[in-house]
């Protein structure tokens, strides 16, 4: 058995016995790890809050033989996920965790994917009293919507499945017009000629395409708040369908995410 130190993001935690837990982490150095943390949920556990859901921490993992769970022997908290005044931030964090767990496999390091995920989790986390986080305060639902889409597009890029947003996925002609044909199975946008005879094609607005292009390139909060609101409902439907086609099922948290953002928009009208 060999021990390895890694920076980790906790994606899942489920009980094992009375006080132990089986933890699923995405690590920067060794990829996804599933392991047993003995006594993790004791009142005075040596792990403290380091293995709480969505925590960013340093872990020491003891790798066991094939077919057995690894063993977490130490964990040191770097960043604890905190819920602010917006329920949407918590819903977004759970959605990102489930998405990452679904698209990654054990022992396949993807440091760029890990960095993308931890930036999003740090941004979503509310600051402690008297402190300020990167954006200065808990993000509102509109900013959270943009961040989720930016993170999803980054994940698709890392998986090599980012849809074509600037030109036709087949003939490479520029995508133009008020409505764009978008193939869920054919790699993204299609020109009118290449769209003929294709299945699983939807028509999306040019505003949605422009927003997707911008969020695929970068996430700029000041830019997001200064412009008119993007068509998040339309984009959310596109992203849900894209990942459902890739994974073969719809993520459980996507339903709660949609409900949370819908109720949040109603409150702010």
Q: What are the residue boundaries of the structural domains of the chain, listed by start?
A: 2-79, 87-159+206-267
Q: Residue 138 has what pLDDT?
A: 64
Predicted local distance difference test score (pLDDT) of residue 263: 60
**74 within 8 A of 59, measured Cβ to Cβ:** yes
pLDDT at 269: 52
Q: Which residues pair with 183 in a beta bridge?
A: 188, 201
Dump pLDDT digits (tens) for 149-189. Answer: 999 999 999 999 999 999 999 999 999 999 999 999 999 99
pLDDT band at residue 264 under the 50/70/90 scheme:
low
Q: What is the pLDDT of residue 258?
A: 82
pTM higher than 0.75 for the full model?
yes
Mean pLDDT estimate for the chain:
89
pLDDT at 131 over 50: no
Q: pLDDT tens, 52-91?
A: 999 999 999 999 877 789 999 999 999 999 876 678 899 9
pLDDT at 223 over 70: no
- Counts for the chain of helices (H) and strands (E), in that order: 8, 8
Return the pLDDT at 42. Answer: 92
Beta carbons within 8 Å of 196's beta carbon, 6+ residues apart:
none
Residue 1 confidence (pLDDT) = 64
Q: Copy the structure tokens of residue 111.
A: 């440091």
Calculate mean pLDDT across residues 120-145. Answer: 72
* Long-range contacts, stretch 38-44, CB < 8 angstroms, 24+ apart: 38/71, 40/13, 40/72, 41/15
The span from the CA of 256 to the CA of 28, in Å, is 28
On whether the CB atoms of residues 147 and 92 are closer than 8 A, the answer is: yes
Going by C-alpha positions, the residue among 92, 78, 155 that lies closest to residue 124 is: 92
Collapsing DSSP states into helix, strand and coil, what is residue 55?
coil
pLDDT of residue 140: 83
| Residue pair 42/128 in contact by the 8 Å Cβ criterion | no
pLDDT of 133 higher than 50: no
The CATH number that domain 2-79 falls under is 2.40.50.140
Q: What pLDDT does residue 65 have?
A: 77
């Amino acid at each position: 058995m060999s021990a390895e130190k890694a920076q980790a993001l906790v994606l899942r935690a489920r009980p094992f016995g009375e006080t132990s837990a089986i933890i699923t982490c995405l690590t920067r150095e060794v990829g996804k790890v599933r392991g047993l943390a003995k006594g993790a949920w004791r009142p005075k556990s040596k792990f403290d809050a380091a293995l709480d859901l969505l925590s960013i921490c340093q872990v020491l993992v003891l790798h066991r033989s094939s077919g057995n769970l690894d063993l977490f022997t130490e964990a040191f908290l770097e960043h604890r996920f905190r819920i602010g005044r917006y329920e949407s931030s918590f819903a977004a964090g759970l959605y990102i965790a489930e998405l990452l767990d679904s698209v990654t496999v054990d022992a396949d390091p993807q440091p760029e994917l890990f960095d993308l995920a931890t930036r999003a989790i740090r941004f979503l986390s509310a600051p402690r009293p008297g402190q300020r986080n990167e954006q200065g305060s808990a993000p509102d639902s509109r900013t959270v919507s943009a961040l989720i889409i930016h993170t999803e597009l980054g994940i698709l890029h890392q998986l090599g499945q980012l849809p074509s947003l600037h030109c036709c996925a087949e003939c490479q002609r520029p995508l133009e017009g008020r409505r764009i044909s978008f193939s869920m199975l054919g790699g993204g946008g299609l020109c009118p000629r290449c769209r003929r005879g294709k299945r699983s094609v939807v028509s999306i607005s040019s505003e949605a395409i422009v927003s997707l292009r911008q969020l695929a390139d970068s996430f700029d909060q000041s830019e997001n708040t200064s412009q008119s609101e993007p068509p998040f409902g339309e984009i959310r439907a596109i992203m849900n369908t894209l990942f459902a086609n890739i994974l073969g099922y719809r993520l459980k948290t996507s339903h709660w995410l949609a409900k949370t953002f819908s109720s949040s928009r109603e409150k702010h009208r």
